[in-house]
Structure 1
Amino acid sequence: MERKSRIAVSAAAAAASVALVGGGVGAAMATTADDQSSEQSITGAALDRASAVALDFVGEGEVTGTEVGDEESLYEVEVTRGDGTQVDVQLDESFAVVGSKADTENDE
Structure 2
Amino acid sequence: MKKSTRWTIGGAAALVVLAGGGGVALATAGDDEDARPDVAITGDALEQASEAALAHLGEGQVTDTEVGDEEGYYEVEVTLDDGDQVDVHLDEDFTVLGDERDSEEPGDDD
Taking structure 1 as the reference length, the TM-score comes to 0.63
Tell me: CA distance 1:37–1:62, structure 2 relative to 1, closer, same or farther (3 Å).
farther
- Give the distance between the partners of 2:72 and 2:35, measured in 1 at CA: 16
- What residue ranges of structure 1 are gaps of 5+ in the alignment? 1-34
> Identity, % of aligned pairs?
58
- Give the distance between the partners of 1:83 and 1:70, measured in 2 at CA: 25
- Give the distance between the partners of 2:36 and 2:89, measured in 1 at CA: 19
> 2:95 — aligned with what?
96
- Give the distance between the partners of 1:36 and 1:87, measured in 2 at CA: 23
**Rg comparison, structure with higher value:** 2
- Give the distance between the partners of 1:102 and 1:60, measured in 2 at CA: 14
> 1:86 — aligned with what?
85
Shift of 1:82: 1.2
Match status 1:74 vs 2:73: yes
Partner SS for 2:70: coil
Shift of 1:36: 8.1
Tell me: CA distance 1:36–1:48, structure 2 relative to 1, closer, same or farther (3 Å).
farther
Partner SS for 2:50: helix
- Give the distance between the partners of 1:80 and 1:37, measured in 2 at CA: 24
- What residue ranges of structure 2 are gaps of 5+ in the alignment? 1-33, 106-110
Tell me the number of residue pairs that the alignment of Structure 1 and Structure 2 aligns: 73
> 1:63 — aligned with what?
62
Shift of 1:37: 6.8
Q: CA RMSD in A?
A: 1.9
> 2:38 — aligned with what?
39
Tell me: CA distance 1:37–1:82, structure 2 relative to 1, closer, same or farther (3 Å).
farther
Taking structure 2 as the reference length, the TM-score comes to 0.62
- Give the distance between the partners of 2:103 and 2:37, measured in 1 at CA: 24
